[in-house]
Amino acid sequence: MIGKKFFGLSFLLGSLIVYSNSVFAVNVPDKSKEKTYLQESMGRVQLPAEGLQPVFKLLKAGNAIVAVSTDRLFLFERGKWRIENLPGAWQTASLDPFEKIWLGSIGRVFALDKRQEMRLPTEAESDTIHSILWVDATTMLVGTSRGVWQYNNEWAKVQSFGALSVRKLIKGSGTEIWATTNGGLFRKIGGKWVNLSYAVMAPGLGLNYFGLSAGKTSGEIFFGCQPALGLISETGGHNLYSADNGLPFGPVTTIASSGNSLWLGTPNGAICKSGDSWRYYAGRRWLDDNLVNDILPLDSNRVWLATSAGINELRKMPMTLEQKAKFFEKRLNERHLHHGFAAECRFKTLSDTTSFTHSTNDNDGLWSSIYLAAESFRYAVTGEREAYDNAVRTYLAMEKLGTINPIQGYMARSYVSIDESTGQGGEWHVSADGKWKWKGDTSSDEIVGHMFAYPIFYDLVAEGEMKERVRGLVDRIMTHILDHNFELVDLDGIATRWGVWNPDSLNHSTHWMYEKGINSLQILAFLKSATHVTGQSKYEKAYNYLAKEHHYLDNMLVQKMFGPYEVNHSDDELSFLPYYTLMRYGSESPDKTVFGKSLERSWKAEEADRIPIWNYIASIGLVKDCGISVAEEEMQQIPLDIRNWRMMNSHRWDIQKSTIYDRFFKPQAVKPIPTPERAISKWNSNTYQMDAGGDGLSEDDGAYYLLPYWMARYHKLLK
């Protein structure tokens, strides 16, 4: 029997759980006055044994936690685990009124404290026991694969069930007993069993019933059937939850109440219903395996889920957005720096986040510019030396993209040391000193990043000689573009594949019909920011040449392609960053009304995507609230674990599938997949894509959170 007294539970439980994202190793003081929210994270409960069979049952007896596997039972009591080896192989477990553990298997039950086995009658000796219920101190019901047996000093078959498979037995209010079977939902009241499926239940629910649990209010019973989750209430407050009103998946096989939340286990993920909101937990970000065997809420903010691959703890902890930013900052600086770039890292194994490697990326310059801008805003807000150092370090890494190659004003995509792998593909060259390899065929993506971040760094961080360096770099970049007829020209003397902004191409070539609007927006933004940083009139002259003589203002009015045209979500980044630049450095321009009209149109097309950085840039540029509260909610929803786990949602009941495929001919949803439930991306992928992600071995650097956060703080959009 489990002892009634229990000490040190909360202390020791923390040491038993391994959090892959190391969130609990980060003690970040929060000096802001931001409101707190509950941040979710996942941890793994480490049981003290090797070669474990899956845990199929979680119980709480007094203050102790019990985890039951096929051949062992783990009791956490008096500050430590205790293991009991079990005789035979078991498939279910339950507590009696005295909190003694009873086990069930094929044709037998076992009283753990007495080490006493009881066998079912001969006719049931091959039947699998699915559920054990002690009705009172002397009466036990056993639900099997072929009916129900009652024990009270001797066994008796409960004839009402015949040979039905009985999955769950529970007590209701008063003397009520409920049972789910493969032949209906049963209720015992007044000493008589009634199959409600033939008496009062909706025929559309079918006869297959699974999970069963009493609600937090007396007289409430929750049940899971093949198409729905149901609630039966003595007071008449019945309800039915299906795909029509939010149930993500089923059948619901496990049901557990915790405060105002209802936790549900299914063969493919877990679900939490809290009020009118639903959360779906699946994939390795949340569960080691999607088959949920049992659920045990520990308190209102912690729940254990037993899966076929182990026990996971889902935990909610109070956090502010600033604490979250500091968490990402710390992790980025610990494992996401590659030659000074902010870079993705790749782990050697799924279980060890201390061993990782880096590799080059097509857009090292672009992604690092995101971090450079974030740290510049952070420094302007906080004055922290760390932010200054991070910004300068990142700028110097990016500046080298322009000096490592022999072309004046040309920015390489990336660079690696001479003995480092360049991966597959790409146009690579050796630097003049023979120490580096640099990547050519630079895209417009890179220049968007450079010309977005450098003016911000120039304004908010750079001083003295550093300011001169930024001014010189911006001048070289834009002089190169102007001298080459608004193109990026590589070593071969030919424009790169995407580095084209000249009027002949944008206005007259069918090859550039799609990029006509967005590239017009980009080059106008580049020229405005170059004018600001360098003070040279040639850039304003070039701006007027494109805007007035070649109608680039008209082009950018309709830059966002959507509707019958192909929707390229990666282009959103390549337009909204220039929008910020244009609105910031063109605020005194007589053309600012046109800028606003273009941004307004693009924002309306993007609003439904729920991407925080677009909400903030639109709010800043249009000087109005463009979903600031939505952006804050989405910032809270970004998971701490930003590894590239494969996230699958196409099987879900609650997601309406669009009749139109995306640009890669993949199915997509009508509404964005909720942020915690979809794959990680840097704003540049399709938030409507249902299935995405990878093997979990790569981790994003997190700058895609840091930029919108510090930008919002700088512009006072977060109170």
- Per domain, the residue ranges of the chain are 361-640+705-714
d(CA 239, CA 229): 9
d(CA 597, CA 606): 14
In this prediction, residue 17 carries a pLDDT of 62
d(CA 702, CA 334): 12
pLDDT tens digits for 150-183?
999 999 999 999 999 999 999 999 899 999 999 9
Q: Has residue 56 got a pLDDT over 90?
A: yes
Q: Report the 10 Å Cβ neighbour count for 375.
A: 32
In this prediction, residue 12 carries a pLDDT of 35
Exposure letters 430-450 (e unless 16+ CB within 10 A, then b): ebeeeebbbbbbbbbbbbbbb
Query: What percentage of the chain exceeds 90 in pLDDT?
Result: 89
Q: For 17, which DSSP code? A: E
Q: What would the two tokens of residue 246 be?
A: 């939010």
> Which residue's entry shows tokens 């430590």?
80
In this prediction, residue 5 carries a pLDDT of 30
Question: What are the strands, taking DSSP E only, across 215-351?
Answer: 220-225, 229-233, 239-241, 254-258, 261-266, 269-274, 277-281, 292-299, 302-307, 310-319, 337-338, 341-342, 345-349
Q: pLDDT grade, residue 8 (50/70/90)? A: very low
* Whether the Cβ atoms of residue 638 and residue 23 lie closer than 8 Å to each other: no
In this prediction, residue 692 carries a pLDDT of 96
d(CA 702, CA 118): 57
Query: What percentage of the chain exceeds 70 in pLDDT?
Result: 95
Q: What would the two tokens of residue 104 be?
A: 């069930």
**Mean pLDDT for the stretch of residues 115-136:** 96
Q: pLDDT grade, residue 16 (50/70/90)? A: low
Position 624: which residue type? K
Q: Has residue 23 got a pLDDT over 80?
A: no
**Mean pLDDT for the stretch of residues 118-138:** 97
d(CA 104, CA 134): 13
Q: Has residue 33 got a pLDDT over 90?
A: no
**Nearest Cα to Cα of residue 713 among 628, 643, 603:** 628
Backbone angles phi, psi at 667, to 5 degrees: -65, 150
d(CA 270, CA 294): 10
Query: Residue 97 class from Cβ within 10 Å (0-12 exposed, 13-18 middle, 19+ buried)?
Result: exposed
Average pLDDT in the chain: 93
Backbone angles phi, psi at 538, to 5 degrees: -65, -25
In this prediction, residue 63 carries a pLDDT of 83
pLDDT tens digits for 275-304?
999 999 999 999 999 999 999 999 999 999
Q: pLDDT grade, residue 579 (50/70/90)? A: very high
In this prediction, residue 49 carries a pLDDT of 83
In this prediction, residue 216 carries a pLDDT of 87
Contacts of 664 (CB under 8 A, 6+ apart): none
Q: Has residue 29 got a pLDDT over 50?
A: no
d(CA 286, CA 705): 20
- Write out the CATH class of domain 361-640+705-714: mainly alpha
Q: Has residue 543 got a pLDDT over 70?
A: yes
Position 542: which residue type? A
d(CA 385, CA 374): 14
Position 82: which residue type? R
d(CA 633, CA 59): 35
Q: Has residue 80 got a pLDDT over 90?
A: no
Exposure letters 282-307 (e unless 16+ CB within 10 A, then b): bbbbbbebbbbbbbbbbeebbbbbbb
**Mean pLDDT for the stretch of residues 422-446:** 96
Q: pLDDT grade, residue 14 (50/70/90)? A: very low
Q: Has residue 31 got a pLDDT over 70?
A: no
pLDDT tens digits for 696-719?
999 999 999 999 999 999 999 997
589, 592, 593, 597: CA torsion to nearest 10: 160
Whether pTM exceeds 0.75: yes
**Mean pLDDT for the stretch of residues 330-341:** 98
- DSSP secondary structure letters along 494-544: SEEEEEE--HHHHHH-GGGTTTHHHHHHHHHHHHHHHHHHH--HHHHHHHH
Question: What are the strands, taking DSSP E only, across 345-472?
Answer: 345-349, 352-358, 415-417, 428-430, 436-439
**Mean pLDDT for the stretch of residues 421-446:** 96
d(CA 356, CA 345): 6
Q: Has residue 188 got a pLDDT over 70?
A: yes
d(CA 165, CA 127): 10
Q: pLDDT grade, residue 130 (50/70/90)? A: very high
CA angle 508, 509, 513 (to 5 degrees): 100
Q: What would the two tokens of residue 637 be?
A: 């929803």
Lowest-confidence pick of 59-68, 229-238, 612-621, 638-647: 59-68
